[in-house]
């Protein structure tokens, strides 16, 4: 995959300012909104049942995050998924906690029944759970070290007929056949809340301007990973890292992608 393609998607986000309808958790809602703004997208945190269907039809992309699921969100997610399907709007799912809370698998299956999901973005533990494998998790966090991540991601992509972006020390993005690994990132991601949620929101922003959802997911995680590296160079504690991460996403340009991103080709 050419790095120039990733840079082109970033430029399109800045030019087109995609509207991202986000139903996310209350731990990370502000972070997701701010990182979308910093990237160049337009966030809308619409999560009421009465508004979600109509707003999903207006959006460039819909981002669904199951982190702190409420009954209101559950119903809003279902109608947003239907709205996205009716207008062929890309839907990105972050199956937060599905490895720890079995009920969330019911929500995911209902989403696939009533709508469509174009990208699943999850940590290695969540992706292994979706693949039907035993996964090491602690609450919402994955304890997986990366072994078998690519195989699990490919299995989920084939089973759900979508792109899968599995995050960890090495990110893996696959459509079930071809795959890319991103060897960037920072250990500081594990010291703040919402890093994975922010990555999912960026996937939605990229999918809002690029119908090649594989390319969109690679671009989003590449931006997140190299911004994390840049933020770590300026930060000395979790709080300063969080601020520096938003700033680094804002400062990110095509040249940063061309010079910094480390892609492990296409395999499949």
CA 213 to chain centre: 11
Q: Which domains does the chain have, with CATH numbers?
A: 3-260 (3.40.1190.20)
Q: What is the pLDDT of residues 171-208, one digit of tens each?
A: 999 999 999 999 999 999 999 999 999 999 999 999 99
Q: Using DSSP, state whether 100 is helix, strand or coil.
A: coil
Q: What percent of the chain has pLDDT over 70?
A: 93
Q: What is the pLDDT of residues 72-110, one digit of tens each?
A: 998 999 999 999 999 999 999 999 878 768 888 888 888
Handedness of CA 170, 249, 67, 57 (dihedral sign): negative
Q: Using DSSP, state whether 42 is helix, strand or coil.
A: strand
Q: What is the pLDDT of residues 211-245, one digit of tens each?
A: 999 999 999 999 999 999 999 999 999 999 999 99
CB contact at 8 A, 137 and 175? no
Dihedrals φ, ψ of 62, to 5°?
-120, 130
Q: What is the pLDDT of residues 128-179, one digit of tens each?
A: 888 887 554 444 444 445 557 889 999 999 999 999 999 988 999 999 999 9
Q: Which among 121, 131, 44, 118 is positioned nearest to 81, based on CA atoms?
A: 118
Q: Where would I find the H helices in 161-237?
A: 195-207, 213-234
- The pLDDT value recorded for residue 125 is 84
d(CA 181, CA 168): 10
> Number of C-alpha atoms within 13 angstroms, CB side, residue 95?
35
């Amino acid at each position: 995959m050419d790095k120039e393609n990733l840079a082109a998607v970033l430029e399109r986000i800045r030019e087109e300012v995609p509207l991202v309808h986000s139903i996310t958790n209350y731990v990370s809602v502000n972070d997701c909104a701010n990182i979308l703004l910093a990237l160049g997208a337009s966030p809308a945190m619409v999560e009421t049942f009465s508004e979600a269907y109509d707003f999903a039809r207006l959006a460039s992309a819909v981002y669904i995050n199951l982190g702190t699921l409420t009954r209101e969100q559950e119903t809003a997610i279902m109608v947003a998924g239907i709205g996205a399907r009716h207008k062929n709007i890309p839907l990105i799912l972050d199956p937060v906690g599905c490895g720890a809370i079995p009920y969330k698998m019911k929500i995911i299956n209902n989403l696939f029944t009533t709508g469509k999901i174009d990208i699943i973005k999850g940590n290695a533990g969540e992706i292994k759970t979706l693949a039907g494998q035993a996964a090491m998790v602690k609450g919402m966090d994955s304890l997986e070290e990366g072994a078998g991540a690519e195989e699990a991601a490919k299995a989920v992509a084939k089973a759900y007929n979508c792109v899968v972006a599995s995050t960890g020390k090495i990110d893996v993005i696959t459509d079930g056949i071809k795959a890319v690994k991103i060897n960037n990132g920072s250990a500081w991601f594990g010291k703040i809340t919402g890093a994975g949620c922010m990555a999912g929101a960026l996937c939605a922003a990229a999918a809002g301007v690029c119908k090649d959802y594989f390319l969109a997911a690679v671009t989003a995680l590449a931006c997140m990973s190299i911004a994390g590296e840049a933020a770590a160079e300026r930060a000395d504690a979790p709080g300063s890292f969080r601020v520096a991460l938003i700033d680094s996403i804002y400062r990110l340009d095509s040249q940063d992608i061309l010079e910094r991103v480390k892609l492990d080709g296409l395999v499949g």
